[in-house]
Structure 1
């Protein structure tokens, strides 16, 4: 057996260490991240801690702050993937990190109690705050992130937000997730799906059937990426057939997003 000289062996080890250090800060390879497929059944419960007995499905989307690492581990033991819900587009006065958001980035109320739109142009302020939240999701063992309110530019936020601002912000969010080995979903923001489908691993949509917009989610399905979809007002008889034709993962939920669900 050939013997490698000590200096050469030391050099090889040094190269390997430096290579690992250089790659550790970049996004996880796409093949290493969880990729939910079209039609994957799911449960969406943001009202408190997750109820593992609520639905026999392979994916749970739950609140990142309200659920612990033990809650995530329990779902994993049941063979489920777990998505971490965090708000990325609005400040919430009931979150433990609320004091970290300066008043300068808080805009108008968004219609939900205790919430105000964020000035997504201020990535210098918001990026480190989102990084801390995504660190929380990673450290609790989540597989993916659902960042909410990704379409502030379509609303009266109190800031002159443009589509370009939103594209830059959403892509930044995707990078933050991928750097932590987390998959990430595009929440609503239908007009920008053609530009963003490559940046995101799945989509989450509310009420596309009610507004006749579900076909706009087709790029995700065609890319082999799940579209997790809910309706609130329509009955399952009114939207499930169309949702199945499009390959969506659809169910009816109450707006409170408690344990109740009515799947297609």
Structure 2
């Protein structure tokens, strides 16, 4: 009987070691470095480019679709909202138990990030879905609730929400890494100093639009670590000299267009 117990423990230890090794291998085989090309499919506009990284919606795309992309040599980033409950998602009712107030978009409600540790199991479930489908990385959107203060969580301010936002994002990064996923920092440029060592790449919307505040220059921290920075602008004439200088792989959409165009 003793011998049987020893053999069982040895098998368990072997499986555990294999799991750790497999996770490390998964994260080390493909990386998103500066200058990585990309295709943006997740946000509702056409993108006819064929980039190395492709950003898709986690919950509306099948495992077979993800596999086809990976087999074609692409690095697959799977998008989901980590900061809002969306009424078209399958786990909407579960998310709404922890929601606070209406978001700025129809059908969305801000999550109460002061309670992030209570709904983290729902976010982890989404990450596990990403792993099961074969995604290489994730894009966790709407992680800027702190910027909206009481508009996002009643009775709170930007400063009171900031520590919750940082803790939540660090937990997401650690959990993603434990699962063998890479993770993007989405927007939240003023949190870069707190999160640069936790995040693997960055995705930004409209930093050039707010260039008076030097938003784009905040990504220098990612550039110095050779981490990819992806960006989009919704209204531009396609002048991308600033993006190239700042290490941002940018796409833009003309104001009346329905297609992403590479800079």
Q: TM-score range by the shorter chain?
A: 0.7 to 0.9
**Structure 1 segments (4+ residues) deviating >6 Å:** 10-13, 254-258
- CA deviations on 1:98-140 (whole Å, 9 max, x unpaired) are 121243x212222111001001121332110001111111111
**Count of residues paired in the alignment:** 250
Q: TM-score, normalised by structure 1?
A: 0.85
Of the three residues 51, 57, 66, the one matched with 1:63 is 57
2:183 match: 184
- CA deviations on 1:17-54 (whole Å, 9 max, x unpaired) are 42652784799449626320111111112257x98x82
Distance (whole Å) between structure 1 residues aligned to residue 203 and residue 232 of structure 2: 8
Gaps in structure 1 of 5+ consecutive residues: 1-6
Distance (whole Å) between structure 1 residues aligned to residue 210 and residue 112 of structure 2: 27
1:158 match: 153
Gaps in structure 2 of 5+ consecutive residues: none
Superposition CA RMSD, Å: 2.8
Return the structure number with greater relative CO, CA threshold 8 A, min gap 6.
1
> Given the alignment of the two structures, is residue 99 of structure 1 paired with residue 93 of structure 2, yes or no?
yes
**Residues 250 and 33 (structure 1), Cα distance of their counterparts in 2 relative to 1, 3 Å cut:** same
- Judging by fraction of residues, say which structure has more helix: 2
> Given the alignment of the two structures, is residue 90 of structure 1 paired with residue 89 of structure 2, yes or no?
no
Conserved in 2, the CA contact under 8 Å of 1:252 and 1:263? yes
Q: How does 1:1-264 map to 2 (within 5 A)?
A: 14=9, 17-18=12-13, 20-21=15-16, 24=19, 28-29=23-24, 32=28, 34-46=30-42, 54-103=48-97, 105-155=98-148, 156-159=151-154, 160=156, 161-212=160-211, 213-237=215-239, 240-253=240-253, 260-264=259-263
**Residues 15 and 67 (structure 1), Cα distance of their counterparts in 2 relative to 1, 3 Å cut:** same
Q: TM-score, normalised by structure 2?
A: 0.85
